Amino acid sequence: MKITRRYAILLAPAGVLLLGGFQAAQRATAPAADPLIEGFKKTTVASVADAVDQVVGQRGFMAHDVRPQVPGAFVGRARTALLRPAPPEKATATLSARHSIEMIDTARPGEVGVIVVEGSLDVAALGGLMGTTAKARGMVGVVIDGSVRDVAELRALPLPVYARGVVPSSSVGRYASVARDVPVTCAGVTVRPGDIIVAGEDGVVVVPADKAEQVLKRAQEIDARETKMVPLIKQYKSLQKVVEMFNRI
């Protein structure tokens, strides 16, 4: 007996049908690849920092003490949250991390959380529960102007987190969340929602969204030039000679 496609579908196990439908739904909802993000993934953090200097005319690199407390390089578009000091009655468990939680709960795959704790490195803006949610939402990393806790849990996920410190304290009773998806100043650099965050062992760089194409092109040019310089340095055994040839270090 010949089984047509129609009857094959009827005879298929329910689990197979459900799995197929789920996979189809995943394909339908998967975000389209962002060519700028893909391009920055192939550059170096240092080259991007130089490119921002040259194209934007101001620094894009965050302060030197924003370090990978949970290692991992990543590139993604920024989502932001802001916390400020508040009296205990306004720094309740509900209010202390409200906008950070909302930011994470509405994040799309590939985005980067940027959380600013104004005025203190002794408050953790992210812990295991928030980190678990960020990972489940598909966020690629978090950057904190402040501190982080539950590092072992975050490392086990794994979720890369760059922060200025590690402390066991929480924001409850100390800080209140005041806004999300607004421009913030994170470790010396303005970050706007949608800006591109490039993070690696060298640190964190912010690329303004409206200059991203030009910055990427310049970073690629810098990378290409350095690639050409390396074999010549080995050949001549002189950095000065090669610098003179390329007019760059």
Predicted confidence (pLDDT) per residue in 184-231, tens digit: 999 999 999 999 999 999 999 999 999 999 999 999 999 988 777 788
Token pair listed for 189: 């650099």
Residue 115 has pLDDT above 50, yes or no: yes
Query: Mean of the per-residue pLDDT values for the chain?
Result: 88
Whole-number pLDDT of residue 28: 39
Instruction: Quote the pLDDT of residue 52.
Output: 98
The domain segmentation of the chain, as residue ranges, is 35-209, 215-246
Q: Which two tokens stand for residue 247?
A: 């007019």
Task: Render pLDDT for 94-112 as a digit per residue (tens, 0 to 9).
Answer: 899 999 999 999 999 999 9
Domain at 35-209, CATH from 3.40.50.1860, 3.40.50.1000, 3.50.30.40, 3.30.70.100: 3.50.30.40
Task: Output the pLDDT for position 30.
Answer: 52
The CA distances from residue 125 to 27, 69, 91, 131, 178, in Å, are: 33, 13, 13, 10, 13
Other C-beta atoms closer than 10 Å to the C-beta of 117 total: 28
How much is the average pLDDT of 114-130?
A: 96
What confidence tens digit (pLDDT) does each residue in 134-147 have? 999 999 999 999 99
pTM: 0.84
Q: Does the pLDDT value for residue 239 go beyond 90?
A: no
- What is the per-residue pLDDT for 228? 76
pLDDT score at 248? 64
Distance from CA of residue 242 to its chain's centroid?
35
